[in-house]
Structure 1
Amino acid sequence: MKFKLAPFSLALAGSLLAAPAFADGMLHWQNNSLTYLYGQNFKVDDGEIQQTVTFEHASGW
């Protein structure tokens, strides 16, 4: 499976991560993580090439 939109998606995620919070001081903390994993011979699927993009977000009020 080819990720034709991967560069666009990564650029969009990066711009969202860089945007300031619009909560006007109500947001106490936030944490974001963007991860791209690529490889093969994983325990789950031997021999096949795996590609995974993960975006995680957490925030507190």
Structure 2
Amino acid sequence: MGLDLVKGTVPNNLEAGVFEPAMSKVKILQFATEAAITILRIDDMVRLVKDESQSEVD
């Protein structure tokens, strides 16, 4: 099953000629998760650096 956003229906992907292997979906989710974790880690590092510089000024 899939989504047809133009028609607003839920068609059968195989009948519509759309083939998406499950492995590619799993890999896409893994890469997206890794990217999100990396962004969160970078954000934490930036916050730590700002906190240290603010305490030196006080």
TM-score between both structures, scaled by the size of structure 2: 0.31
Which is richer in strand?
1
Q: Which has the larger radius of gyration?
A: 2
Which is richer in helix?
2
